[in-house]
Amino acid sequence: MKQKDPQNITVFYDGSCPLCASEISYYKRADTDHVLNLVDVSSKRFSGDDSVTRSDAMARFHVRLADGRQMSGARAFVELWRAVPGWRWLARLASLPGVVPLLEELYRLFLRMRPLIVRGFGKYQRFFGTSLTR
């Protein structure tokens, strides 16, 4: 089956989170189709819009598709993977029955553990002087 042409997708991410920023940096490099519009919601320039507030975007990963539909959490990651070459296979895998709800539960678990994970990631960066995505 032929992959339809990717459309632009707006990605709302927390640039103040070193783990999040590192992951987004990886997606940016993988975006050879140049379809990602990356919005750092931690920036003073972002105050939210009609569809997503700053506090919502800081608390949970969001994307907005070209047609205006907005998603958060696991569904947002699936749409991001669908747009980025090299990750489309994961979006196809996520289309199997029951996968997105499982990913959402894992994402919610990550959100609860995020402060601890971010602290560990920061220590890793300071110790090795690099990020995981270089």
Tens of pLDDT along the chain (134 residues) come to 344 556 799 999 999 888 888 899 999 999 999 999 999 999 999 988 888 999 999 999 999 999 999 999 999 999 999 999 999 999 999 999 999 999 999 999 999 988 788 777 666 666 676 555 44
pLDDT score for 123 = 67
User: Does the reported pTM lie above 0.85?
Assistant: no
58 contacts: CB under 8 Å, gap ≥ 6: 14, 41, 42
- Give dist(CA 41, CA 104) in Å, integer: 21
Helices 99-128 & 73-83 angle (0-180, nearest 10): 80
Q: E strand or H helix at 72, and its extent?
A: strand 70-72
pLDDT score for 115 = 78
pLDDT score for 127 = 64
pLDDT score for 93 = 97
CB atoms closer than 10 angstroms to residue 116: 9
